[in-house]
A and B are shown apart, each in its own frame.
Chain A
């Protein structure tokens, strides 16, 4: 069965600190996608990244970076120099290659204080 675990329920940091959100997944599929979404208080899920299982290269987008390690089934997300606007709930998700069905973790609430 597919499963996504986000062990950190809530993280609080002060602005400009770096913060890493952990994600561990389980799947028997050899091909799959991994995602990160941001959910601000407005409710909509904002897409951050999709990574396919064949591509283990780390990715950087501005202050955001992602570390995909297939050997440990982890897909961690780091925000460098956090800002108050980064405060939100962040979800890691998994889908197989052929369907739209996303399996979400329970989310990590990030609070960035000024």
Chain B
């Protein structure tokens, strides 16, 4: 039990649509990161937020965006969905800027 909760667990969208994935972290976890894990691959870093500001981004286009809220929740938004966006999206959080990352169970997105 990591204390990181993600919703929804599964969802299906069609190409061109927009999606919002949500993450709820433990109280005091003011760093949150999002990862994309395609089937059979390792997770890939999308971006990180610290105290509600983005402070690191991986090689993902601007249609991937995020928000972090003062109540330790966060969102990942993806616009103009493409078939290749089908993946497991993992949220991870931790207190402060260093230390162990706690991962949620992920949201599995299927784009048809």
Which residues of A line the B interface, CB within 8 A? 4, 37, 42-47, 50, 91, 93, 99-107
Contacts A44-B2, A44-B105; is A100 near B97 (CB within 8 Å)? Answer: yes
Main secondary structure of the interface of A (DSSP, over half): loop
B100 within 8 A of A: yes
CA distance A47 to B108 in the complex (A): 21
Within 8 A of A (CB), among B84-105: 88, 90, 92, 94, 97, 100-105
- Compute how far the CA of A98 lies from the CA of B108 in the bound complex, rounded to whole angstroms: 30
- A43-B105, A44-B106 as given contacts; A91 in contact with B45, CB under 8 Å: no
B100 touches A43 (CB 8 A): no
> Given A43-B88, A45-B90, A99-B56, do A104 and B43 touch, yes or no (CB 8 Å)?
yes
Query: Which chain A residue lies CB-closest to B41?
Result: A106
Bound Cα distance A105, B106 (Å):
18
Interface residues of B in 23-49 (CB under 8 A from A): 31, 33, 35, 40-45, 48
| Cβ contact of A101, chosen from B4, B42, B45, B105, cutoff 8 A | B45
List A contacts of B44 (CB < 8 A): 104
Tell me the bound Cα distance from A45 to B102 in angstroms.
8
Q: Nearest Cβ in chain B — how far from A15, in angstroms? A: 26
Q: CB distance B102 to A47 under 8 Å?
A: yes
Does the CB pair A42–B105 fall under 8 Å?
yes
State in angstroms the CA–CA spacing of A104 and B41 once bound together.
Answer: 9
Bound-state CA distance A72–B35 (Å) is 28
Residue of A45, A99, A102, A105 with most partner-chain B CB within 10 A: A45
Interface assignment of B8: CB less than 8 Å from any CB of chain A = no
CB distance from B8 to the nearest CB of A (A): 13
Contacts of B48 in A (CB 8 A): 99-101
Instruction: Tell me the complex Cα distance, A46–B48, Å.
Output: 19
B105 to chain A, nearest CB (A): 4
Rounded to whole Å, the gap between the CB of B51 and the closest CB of chain A is 13
